[in-house]
A and B are shown apart, each in its own frame.
Chain A
Amino acid sequence: MKHLLAVTALATGILASLPGLAQDKTVVSFLHKFPEPENMAYFDAAVAEFEAANPSIDIVMEAVADEPYKDKIRVLMASDQVPDIYFSWSGEFGRKFAREGRTLDLTEALKGPEWQSRFAAASLEPFQFEGKQFGIPVNVDSKYMIYNKAIFEKHGLSVPTTFAEFIALNDALLAAGEVPIAYGNQSPWAATHYIGDLFAKMVPDDVRQADYQLLAPADQLYTHPGYVEALALYKSFGDKGYFNNGANAISHQQARGAFIVGRSAMVYLELVEFYMLADTPVAEQGWGFFPLPPMEGAAGRNDLLTGAPDGFLISAKTEHPEEALAFLNFITSPDQAAKYVSTTGMTSAVIGSVTEQTTTPETLAGLKALEDAAGMALWLDTDMDTASANVILAAGQGLLSGDETPEAVMEKVRAAAKETLAQR
């Protein structure tokens, strides 16, 4: 019995001392939305490397997938359990945190050539609110129409340089019995990538920005006719059969798969999906890409690419701002950014990290096109206010199924935007 008591006391002592050991370290919580194996391979290694260089800091990392992340971060915000470092899309999704004072002001920390100069202004700007930097960009992404070279060659088709040529290309593919564009809109964010690009092309930039950020007077919000015209154009893609049958019932991944096996001539993909086309049937047939071409005579901007940087924010209530900043500085260092690109296939926001050594020629060319663009039209569903974006999200499906008209959709958007504006 005495032995048993002695063993128990010893075990209790060891167990009790463990938290004590852990408490010697500064714990920094880190939540992101990159749980895929290739992404986790990078982040696990980066955290280990940072902790080895900073033995007094313990980075507690958690990763959840894209869709659950939107839920989780809201629950954490509502319950005031915000991680020290957390992921955010740029645009309104991030601005919402900044507006409510849930982010640390990073303006001063970022200043100077050492850190700030690592990023292009176009990557930093979407993480600014009222002149203050609230986030650090980690990657940049943009959207391109990918095409199957074998199918194009078979029908004697070439890459369109204007929007009219793009329409003619789709008509030609349809006439040749091909499915022009593989499209999966079961999760309706896919629709917002088309609609957002068309809004950028068909609505004057200043008007669009004022509408998205609810800076226009309430009675003028979303009144430009370009919005209705853009939705009508999107709807016509579905009506004419440019998209595959039943797009609302197919996931984006299924649509990508259909393109990969040659069931369609084109698919609208993100730059960060380029690496997924390697070693696939379409890679053997050859593939290329082009941005949705410029629209002649349209009122908006033709020199923008749809896309956005993703980034990390620091909680306004963090007890360890120095350590959190040190970690963000570390993972956006040129060396780490190069590792990030080569391990994940993503495109880092750090200038010079995407090279022939770290990525594929296609991704490099995609990034070059992004750098050549005058700027970005951010993902629509993260750039507009939530209520207006939700109307567009549902409308992306409703317009295809014939349940919505462009005019009715914009009427709903106006009502949602006015209500949000009144509440601010």
Chain B
Amino acid sequence: MPDRSDHTQATLRQSLQGWLWVAPALLFLVVFVYGPALTNIRFSMFSFSAMSLDWDFVGLNNYLRLWNDPKFMTALTNNAIYAAISVTCQVGVALVLAAVLEARVFPNFSANLFRTALFLPSILPVVVVGLVWQLLLTPTTGLIDQILWETGLASWSRAWLGEPDTAIFAVIFVSQWQWTGYIMALFMVAIRAVPRDLYEAMEIDGASGVQQFWHITVPGVRETILIVTIITILGSLKVFDIVWVMTAGGPNHSSEVLGTMMYRAAFRDDMIGYSSTIATVIFFIALTIGLVQIKLQKDR
């Protein structure tokens, strides 16, 4: 029978080995993720500008100021709309598209063509996509406006990116155009992992395509649905690039999201402390979503 102390030593040795293996990654996380996150929380309690080396401690005043800032509610609402539409399109529509393309409804050539066409936008850089769509959406001379005029829909013509009512929706639309195909590809992989026997059995029982979708595909890829939903919501929360390129949060802050608001506070308004406050709020919202994800996975 082995000695108890030998066993403890062996466990410790094994444990130490484990710690050594994860040490580089852990160190990286502490230095580049957790450290800055904690430093950011500290920054959020100060008022200071990029120009000045003087810092004023203001406690929670920056949080109070943020709460009372009308732009904050606009940004939060825009992020929520962004997330809701993204989940609907990138999870709902992408799943349906994937199911249709995998159900062999189309001949192989057509299916491959659709798959490629839908996936293609996701390999383009966001800045390029933003600039191209900006040109397409230009009032009067843009392609979209010209199509509307040529097809007798002139009354629909408007400055999509220049009007407060439509700017954020135009940006969200472009984002869906770019990413729905990418998520569709992820779903296609997940659907292929579902045993074909199940579909064949349902087909023999006379089930329709829709019934197969609801009773086999959806339950079969629910893990992917959960992960993709979380990724999409987190992506919507931290969205910055496409909004900045297409509208820079304008006109008149109507398409502002938390990311652009944070950037503007730091790099345009010289309020680094206030910007850190916005970053902290984003961090805690993301943390909450992450915890919900963990809980949902555990409950499964």
- The reply to whether A74 and B267 contact each other, CB–CB distance below 8 Å, is yes
The reply on A100 being an interface residue by CB < 8 A is: yes
Q: Which residue of B lies closest to A261 (CB)?
A: B141
- The size bracket of the interface on A is 35 or more
**Contact partner of A74 among B138, B141, B254, B270, CB < 8 A?**
B270
The reply on A229 being an interface residue by CB < 8 A is: no
Residues of A near B269 (CB, < 8 A) are 386-387, 390
CB 8 Å contact bits of A81-101 with B (1 = contact, 0 = none): 000000000000000110110
Q: Nearest chain B CB to A59's CB is how many angstroms away? A: 25
Q: Which residue of A lies closest to B52 (CB)?
A: A100
A78 to B43, CA, bound (A): 13
Q: What are 7 pairs between A and B in contact, CB < 8 Å?
A: A74-B270, A100-B52, A188-B250, A246-B140, A249-B139, A400-B251, A423-B47
The reply on B161 being an interface residue by CB < 8 A is: yes
CB 8 Å contact bits of B242-255 with A (1 = contact, 0 = none): 00000110111110
Q: Nearest chain A CB to B279's CB is how many angstroms away? A: 15
The reply on A161 being an interface residue by CB < 8 A is: no
The reply on B50 being an interface residue by CB < 8 A is: yes
The reply on B164 being an interface residue by CB < 8 A is: yes
- The reply to whether B138 and A254 contact each other, CB–CB distance below 8 Å, is yes
- The reply to whether A401 and B251 contact each other, CB–CB distance below 8 Å, is yes
**Contact partner of B268 among A70, A80, A245, A395, CB < 8 A?**
A70
- The reply to whether B272 and A258 contact each other, CB–CB distance below 8 Å, is no
Q: Nearest chain A CB to B183's CB is how many angstroms away? A: 29
**Known contacts A100-B52, A186-B250, A401-B252, A250 near B139 by CB under 8 Å:** yes
Q: Nearest chain B CB to A124's CB is how many angstroms away? A: 22
**Contact partner of A78 among B50, B138, B162, CB < 8 A?**
B50
**Beyond A100-B52, A247-B159, A423-B47, 19 additional pairs, beta carbon < 8 A:** A70-B268, A71-B267, A77-B50, A78-B272, A186-B161, A186-B162, A188-B251, A246-B138, A248-B159, A249-B139, A249-B159, A249-B162, A250-B162, A258-B141, A390-B268, A394-B251, A401-B162, A401-B252, A403-B251
Q: For the complex, would chain A's binding face be called helix, strand, loop or mixed by DSSP majority?
A: helix
Within 8 A of A (CB), among B155-214: 158-164
The reply on B51 being an interface residue by CB < 8 A is: yes
The reply on A270 being an interface residue by CB < 8 A is: no
Within 8 A of B (CB), among A37-89: 70-71, 74-75, 77-78, 80
- Please provide the 8 A-B residue pairs with the shortest distance between their CB atoms, ordered closest to farther: A246-B159, A249-B162, A246-B139, A248-B162, A398-B252, A397-B251, A78-B50, A74-B50
A78 to B52, CA, bound (A): 7
A188 to B247, CA, bound (A): 11
- The reply to whether A394 and B268 contact each other, CB–CB distance below 8 Å, is no
Within 8 A of B (CB), among A213-251: 244-251
**Contact partner of B140 among A97, A245, A251, CB < 8 A?**
A245
The reply on B278 being an interface residue by CB < 8 A is: no
**Contact partner of B138 among A77, A99, A250, CB < 8 A?**
A250
Q: Nearest chain B CB to A274's CB is how many angstroms away? A: 24
The reply on A273 being an interface residue by CB < 8 A is: no
The reply on B53 being an interface residue by CB < 8 A is: yes
- The reply to whether A248 and B141 contact each other, CB–CB distance below 8 Å, is no
Residues of B near A397 (CB, < 8 A) are 162, 250-252
The reply on A32 being an interface residue by CB < 8 A is: no
Residues of B near A333 (CB, < 8 A) are none
Q: Which residue of A lies closest to B251 (CB)?
A: A397
Within 8 A of A (CB), among B23-58: 47, 49-53
- The reply to whether A75 and B161 contact each other, CB–CB distance below 8 Å, is no
The reply on A329 being an interface residue by CB < 8 A is: no
- The reply to whether B51 and A77 contact each other, CB–CB distance below 8 Å, is yes
A78 to B248, CA, bound (A): 23
The reply on B137 being an interface residue by CB < 8 A is: yes
Residues of A near B53 (CB, < 8 A) are 80, 100
The reply on A362 being an interface residue by CB < 8 A is: no
Residues of A near B50 (CB, < 8 A) are 74-75, 77-78
Residues of A near B247 (CB, < 8 A) are 186
Q: Which residue of B lies closest to A68 (CB)?
A: B267
Q: Which residue of B lies closest to A71 (CB)?
A: B267
- The reply to whether A246 and B162 contact each other, CB–CB distance below 8 Å, is yes
Residues of B near A258 (CB, < 8 A) are 141
Within 8 A of A (CB), among B76-91: none
The reply on A193 being an interface residue by CB < 8 A is: no
Within 8 A of A (CB), among B237-295: 247-248, 250-254, 266-270, 272
A302 to B267, CA, bound (A): 35
Residues of A near B254 (CB, < 8 A) are 401, 403
Q: Which residue of B lies closest to A251 (CB)?
A: B134
Residues of A near B267 (CB, < 8 A) are 70-71, 74-75
Q: Nearest chain B CB to A252's CB is how many angstroms away? A: 13
**Known contacts A248-B163, A390-B269, A96 near B252 by CB under 8 Å:** no
Residues of A near B252 (CB, < 8 A) are 394-395, 397-398, 401, 403-404
Q: Which residue of A lies closest to B252 (CB)?
A: A398
**Contact partner of B251 among A97, A248, A390, CB < 8 A?**
A248
Q: Which residue of B lies closest to A249 (CB)?
A: B162
A400 to B52, CA, bound (A): 35
- The reply to whether A249 and B51 contact each other, CB–CB distance below 8 Å, is no
Q: Which residue of B lies closest to A419 (CB)?
A: B65
- The reply to whether B250 and A394 contact each other, CB–CB distance below 8 Å, is yes
The reply on A143 being an interface residue by CB < 8 A is: no
The reply on A102 being an interface residue by CB < 8 A is: yes
The reply on A187 being an interface residue by CB < 8 A is: yes
- The reply to whether A401 and B164 contact each other, CB–CB distance below 8 Å, is yes
**Known contacts A245-B139, A249-B138, A403-B254, A97 near B51 by CB under 8 Å:** yes
Q: Nearest chain B CB to A138's CB is how many angstroms away? A: 21
Within 8 A of B (CB), among A380-424: 386-387, 390, 394-395, 397-398, 400-401, 403-404, 423
CB 8 Å contact bits of A185-206 with B (1 = contact, 0 = none): 1111000000000000000000
A246 to B140, CA, bound (A): 8
Q: Nearest chain B CB to A418's CB is how many angstroms away? A: 14
Residues of B near A97 (CB, < 8 A) are 51
Residues of B near A394 (CB, < 8 A) are 250-253
A188 to B162, CA, bound (A): 11
CB 8 Å contact bits of B131-148 with A (1 = contact, 0 = none): 000100111110000000
Residues of A near B47 (CB, < 8 A) are 423
Residues of B near A390 (CB, < 8 A) are 268-269
- The reply to whether B51 and A398 contact each other, CB–CB distance below 8 Å, is no
